[in-house]
């Protein structure tokens, strides 16, 4: 990621964090997902952004989006743990992606963003169920 892209990404995250700092209901998942939309698309036919598309992520095996180049740490966790993305797995991953991957036998994730608010994680998962 270039310096300008990194600054744009950081700015988008910062504005999103300020905007969504408070508690969010599950019905607000689409709004909270706007934070994620900086790096992820919801349409499988779109070109990947910094992260893979998230359409149909629930029930999908870890690391299975064709054409997306996963980090070595992510790929290692996927192959050593046979992760399938359930609500529980996504919830734990969003809390701290690198910690999650290390607990599954992997390493550092490309995704350094952490969604620490539990209500926001639940809201995003509710949104992911619908895409």
Please write the tens of the pLDDT for every residue from 49-90.
Answer: 999 999 999 999 999 999 999 999 999 999 999 999 999 999
Q: What is the mean pLDDT of residues 1-28?
A: 46
pLDDT at 41 over 70: yes
Asked if residue 105 has pLDDT above 80, the reply is: yes
Phi-psi region of 63 (alpha: psi -120 to 50; beta: other; left: phi over 0): left
How far is Cα 102 from Cα 2, in angstroms, rounded to an integer?
A: 27
Q: Which CATH class is domain 3-130?
A: mainly alpha
| Residue ranges of domains in the chain | 3-130
**pTM (2 d.p.):** 0.78
Mean pLDDT of the chain: 85
Q: Can you tell me the distance from the alpha carbon of 121 to that of 104, in angstroms, rounded to the nearest whole number? A: 20
């Amino acid at each position: 990621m270039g310096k300008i892209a990194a600054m744009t990404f950081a700015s988008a995250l910062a504005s999103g964090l300020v905007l969504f700092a408070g508690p969010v209901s599950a019905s607000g998942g689409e709004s909270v997902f706007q934070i994620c939309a900086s790096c992820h698309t919801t349409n499988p036919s779109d070109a990947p952004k910094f992260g893979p598309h998230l359409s149909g992520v629930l029930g999908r095996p870890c690391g299975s989006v064709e054409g997306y180049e996963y980090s070595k740490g992510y790929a290692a966790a996927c192959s050593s743990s046979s992760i399938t993305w359930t609500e529980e797995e996504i919830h734990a991953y969003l809390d701290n992606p690198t910690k999650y991957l290390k607990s599954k036998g992997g390493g550092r994730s490309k995704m350094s963003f952490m969604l620490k608010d539990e209500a926001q994680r639940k809201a995003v998962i509710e949104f992911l169920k619908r895409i």
